[in-house]
């Protein structure tokens, strides 16, 4: 997953809309502080592509957007979406083209309960540490389909899910590779009792892959039962792999059981390293709180840590996470989503101070 360390990184920044614009600058400051102390440099190139940009230009990004992004080592994204534009326009105009053009076929989303954070679940004494691998390039999020007789009583909508052996296999193989350095358990989300073509295919590929890795325990679970398991027995789960849609839904559950949507990070990975990978918090632009300076910046900061790990800087990842753990575990400085009253800026300052202490101590 990781790339060899370099002395200098060129990062494309897409802060996007809403709280994306608020949580991005603190995360950039965290990266800059670590870089300064660990002997590497980061050059940011800011791209204003967003819903606001769409209203001016009629598109979410320029025609050469993908080409411009391809020149960077990684893409760092805030959040995209605004009530003034249908969500499918913003998603399909920016994020999905980036994920597909750069073959970011893995979406990695940890659900890790940090010290000092309370979960809405009653009993978390055994901890929560789930790593969800979401297939990120095909499956249910396909362009194949259409509508017939639009606007009439006979209207019909057809949406085809597309599963390839290559795409399914590489997602499951990736999950296996992660499980090997953890508890060696992979649970695969399925629904082959109801979705009898694509999901039985998914199950066959899962069994084929697992047969090659006898050291890893593989289990198939129907996604509805697995969703319940995230709530009832999260401590029993290690690595979970799922299709694009199932992974998307399970990771929102994963995000809230470890405290808040505002905490959860994610990585859209091109594991071959041929193209830039993209790092973003799981949350969206949160129009309900945008502009008030109260968004939790930790999801964005944690995503920055994942980006640095991917770029060959695991020590940068670790020191950022130690600072985040310190703030959550040792202080009561937290935003409202975690039951506190601190602003985005106050949490960011606390993380930066803890980071400075870690780096200088």
- Residues forming contacts to ligand NAD in the complex (CB under 6 A) are 19, 23, 79-81, 87, 95, 261-262, 280, 283-289, 295-296, 299, 335, 337
Distances (CA, A) of 192 to 127, 203, 241, 249: 30, 7, 15, 17
Separation CA 78–CA 69 (nearest Å): 15
Specify whether 252 is catalytic.
yes
Toward ligand NAD, which CB reaches closer, 205 or 257?
257
Taking the least distance from each CB to ligand NAD, the nearer of 168 and 343 is 343
**From 224, 238, 288, 318, active-site residue:** 224
Least distance to ligand NAD from the beta carbon of 278, Å? 10
54 is catalytic: no
Q: Name the nearest CA neighbour of 31 among 350, 352, 337.
A: 352
**Catalytic residue among 73, 82, 238, 248, which?**
248
Helix count and strand count (H, E) for the chain: 12, 12
**Which residue of the set 82, 191, 238, 337 is catalytic?**
191
Q: What is the dihedral of CA 109, 113, 119, 123, to 10 degrees?
A: 120
Q: For residue 141, indicate whether it is catalytic.
A: yes
Q: Are 104 and 212 in contact (CB under 8 A)?
A: no
87 catalytic residue (yes or no): no
Find, among 351, 350, 334, 352, the residue nearest to 260 by Cα: 334
User: Virtual CA dihedral for 301, 306, 307, 309, nearest 10 degrees?
Assistant: 130
From the CB of 310, what's the least distance to ligand NAD, in Å? 18
CA atoms within 13 A on the CB side of 198: 17
Nearer to ligand NAD, 40 or 47 (CB): 47
Query: Least Å distance between CB 344 and ligand NAD?
Result: 8
CB of 203 to ligand NAD, least distance (A): 29
Work out how close the CB of 158 gets to ligand NAD at its nearest, in angstroms, rounded to a whole number. Answer: 23
Q: Which is nearer to ligand NAD, 119 or 185 (CB)?
A: 119
**Comparison of 25 and 287: residue with beta carbon closer to ligand NAD:** 287
Catalytic positions: 141, 191, 224, 248, 252
């Amino acid at each position: 997953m990781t790339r060899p360390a370099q002395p200098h990184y060129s990062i494309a920044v897409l802060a996007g809309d809403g709280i994306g614009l608020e949580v991005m600058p603190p995360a950039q400051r965290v990266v800059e502080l670590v870089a300064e102390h660990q002997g590497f440099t980061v050059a940011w190139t800011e791209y204003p592509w967003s819903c606001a940009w769409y209203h001016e230009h009629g598109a979410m990004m320029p025609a050469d957007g993908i080409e411009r992004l391809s020149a960077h080592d990684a893409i760092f994204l805030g959040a995209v979406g605004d009530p003034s534009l249908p969500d499918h326009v913003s998603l399909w105009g920016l994020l999905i083209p980036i994920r597909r053009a750069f073959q970011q076929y893995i979406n990695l989303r940890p659900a890790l309960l940090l010290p000092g954070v309370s979960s809405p679940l009653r009993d978390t004494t055994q901890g929560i540490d789930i790593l969800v691998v979401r297939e990120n390039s095909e499956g249910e999020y396909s362009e194949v389909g259409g509508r017939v007789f639009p606007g009439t009583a006979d209207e019909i909508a057809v949406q085809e899910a597309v599963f390839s052996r290559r795409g399914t296999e590489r997602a499951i193989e990736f999950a296996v590779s992660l499980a090997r350095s953890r508890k060696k358990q992979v649970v695969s989300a399925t629904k082959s009792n109801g979705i009898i073509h694509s999901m039985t295919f998914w199950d066959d590929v899962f069994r084929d892959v697992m047969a090659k890795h006898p050291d890893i325990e593989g289990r198939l679970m129907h996604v509805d039962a697995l969703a319940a398991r995230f709530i009832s027995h999260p401590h029993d789960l290690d690595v979970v792999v799922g299709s694009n849609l199932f992974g998307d839904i399970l990771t929102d559950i994963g995000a809230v059981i470890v405290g808040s949507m505002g905490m959860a990070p994610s990585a859209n990975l091109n594991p071959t390293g041929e193209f830039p990978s993209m790092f973003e918090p799981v949350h969206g632009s949160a129009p309900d709180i945008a502009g008030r300076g109260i968004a939790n910046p930790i999801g964005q900061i944690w995503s920055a840590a994942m980006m640095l790990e991917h770029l060959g800087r695991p020590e940068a990842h670790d020191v950022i996470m130690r600072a985040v753990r310190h703030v959550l575990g040792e202080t009561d400085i937290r935003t409202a989503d975690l039951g506190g009253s601190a602003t985005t800026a106050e949490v960011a300052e606390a993380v930066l101070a803890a980071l400075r202490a870690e780096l200088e101590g």
